[in-house]
Amino acid sequence: MRKQPIIVATLKIKTDEGDFVARYSSAGLARLDFPTTKTKGAATAPAAHPVAGWHELTTRAVRQALQGRPMEAPPPVDLSGGTAFQRRVWAALRTIPAGKTETYAHLAASLKKPKAARAVGGACGANPAPLIIPCHRVVAAQGGLGGFSGGLHWKRKLLGREAEEN
């Protein structure tokens, strides 16, 4: 069996920051990408499909995330692909409230693997749906920002927004 979800639809999400690209599998949102690469040939929504409903939720959730506000109605996320360790990391990420940050070390400790901070970073990078899963709220221990796929500037912007709201 495939390790990765089978994508059944690819839709654009228009925001003030650009067009995000959401990919859906039969189980829910399978991947969310930042508006890089000019958002070329994405689009096309199969008419009668539950995807249409999810996309509405995703669109709202992404816009809320960009405003640094907690999402009230996140879409279902398909977490196929990914190892058991990564799923635990993602689940832990979902428990971080908006406006707060966690450190890689503390997350690793929560997973009872206090030395796996770096592995946690790896899991964050493998996160299929940034923003929906708040991987941007994870920072380095000594006050550093750490890194971020798709551009550190996003992480800065998001954290700045959330800090403002809090």
- Positions annotated as catalytic residues are 135
Instruction: Give first-to-last CA distance, the chain, whole Å.
Output: 44
Stretch that binds DNA, among 15-23, 44-52, 67-75, 143-151 (CB under 7 A): 143-151
Q: What sign has the CA pseudo-torsion 137, 39, 23, 58?
A: positive
119 binds DNA (CB under 7 A): yes
Q: What sign has the CA pseudo-torsion 81, 137, 34, 66?
A: positive
Taking CB under 7 A as the criterion, the residue among 21, 116, 132, 158 binding DNA is 116
121 binds DNA (CB under 7 A): yes
- Measure Cα distances from 162 to 19, 48, 66, 85, 110 in Å: 21, 36, 9, 27, 23
Min CB(74)–DNA separation in Å: 18
Binding site for DNA (CB under 7 A): 82-86, 103-105, 113, 115-119, 121-127, 130, 135-136, 138, 140-142, 144, 146-149
